[in-house]
Amino acid sequence: MTAGPAAGGAAATNGGRLIGTTLTGRVAPVRLLGDPYLVDRDGTPFVGVGIGGIAPAVRVGMPALGWAGEQVEPAVSIVHPDPAANADLSLQACVGNRVEIQGGAVDGAIGVVTGKHEEFQAFTHVLCDFPPEVSERLGPEDRVVVRAVGVGLAVRDAPSVACHRLSPRLWAAWAPRVTGGRLQVGVVAVCPPHLVGMGAGRLAATTSLEIQTSSPSALTAAGLDHLRLGDLVAVRDWDGRFAIGYRPGALTVGVIATGASRRAGRGLAVTVLVSALDGRLEVQVHPGANLAALLAVGEAGP
């Protein structure tokens, strides 16, 4: 490891040895495959709004629940048009990475990666925060350049903790600490294991897991009904080191990347950031653990 303790007293990592790569995407097209109706848990059809494209009014830091939308993606959703290249964009883009618009009316505008959102066999989107004056003027042909760094991040004194899609910038702002070989991170809330839905069995490095929201009373009972976009949350007894699965004693921490869902087994997409077994990852609950405050983006941004 080459880096010492980072700013704010964050635990030492190999941040100085990470490879910085430059990738590109464009605004994800809003797609509809035939039938406009999705079906909610009770069998009621509805039209889902919010996946793909640009939602200028929805920002990190705002409530994750209550939108008249389906897994609404905050601000700007991007993809690479080639599926294989998009898979790599999704792998390498890390939460906190800087993105830059090249071309068009907002050439040079700077934004930040805030999460990822995947639907099995349908799409994988990288979500980027921009101020509304940028989002409103962003065109479908404008290039979104992602300055990716973070894949391979490792914690010097807690090497068994797996890190995914976690930029050195977020690491420094989040400022996790290591005590007695255990990594301690701040989160807003802890999700109980029975509320994890779609995402089980998929790879933590490239996909999202979902906190089910189709049963509001269950969400309230778990203390998760006030979650915000960008909240850092822990999932108890889930292992997100490789494929995402239930394992008593494991802990997985990620960021709320999208809004809620009305569909059974679906919900808030969580982009996995860190995961470990057997108590090697601990959380401290405090309400400020949100990307908006940590990265000065979204509602807390310029």
Residues between 230 and 249 with contacts to other proteins, criterion CB under 8 A:
237, 239, 242-248
Going from the C-alpha of 124 to that of each of 25, 154, 229, 244, the distances in angstroms are 12, 25, 18, 17
Kindly state whether residue 228 participates in binding other proteins, applying the rule CB under 8 A: no
Candidate segments 6-14, 34-42, 92-100, 165-173, binder of other proteins by CB under 8 A: 34-42
Interatomic CA distance for residues 272 and 292, integer angstroms: 17
Kindly state whether residue 266 participates in binding other proteins, applying the rule CB under 8 A: yes
* Backbone torsion region of residue 169, taken as left when φ is above 0, otherwise alpha when ψ lies between -120 and 50, otherwise beta: alpha
Enclosing H/E stretch for 200? none
Residues between 270 and 289 with contacts to other proteins, criterion CB under 8 A:
none
What's the min distance (Å) between Cβ of 237 and other proteins?
7
Kindly state whether residue 210 participates in binding other proteins, applying the rule CB under 8 A: yes
> Is residue 19 helix, strand or coil?
coil
Q: In the complex with other proteins, which residue's Cβ is closer, 25 or 240?
A: 240
What's the min distance (Å) between Cβ of 231 and other proteins?
20
Candidate segments 35-43, 78-86, 104-112, 174-182, binder of other proteins by CB under 8 A: 35-43
Query: Residue holding tokens 């999704």?
Result: 90
Q: Give buried/exposed letters for 191-206 (b at 16+ CB in 10 A, else e).
A: beeebbbbbeebebbb
Helix boundaries (H) for 154-212? 168-174
Candidate segments 61-69, 97-105, 195-203, 285-293, binder of other proteins by CB under 8 A: 195-203
Q: Binding other proteins by CB under 8 A: which of 59, 169, 177, 202?
A: 202
DSSP tag of 170: H
What's the min distance (Å) between Cβ of 217 and other proteins?
7
Largest CA-CA distance found in the chain, in angstroms, rounded: 56
Kindly state whether residue 35 participates in binding other proteins, applying the rule CB under 8 A: no
Q: In the complex with other proteins, which residue's Cβ is closer, 41 or 143?
A: 41
What's the min distance (Å) between Cβ of 261 and other proteins?
8
Nearest to 278 by CA among 158, 116, 139: 158
Binding residues for other proteins, rule: CB under 8 A, are 39-43, 120, 192-202, 210, 212, 214-215, 217-218, 221, 237, 239, 242-248, 263-266
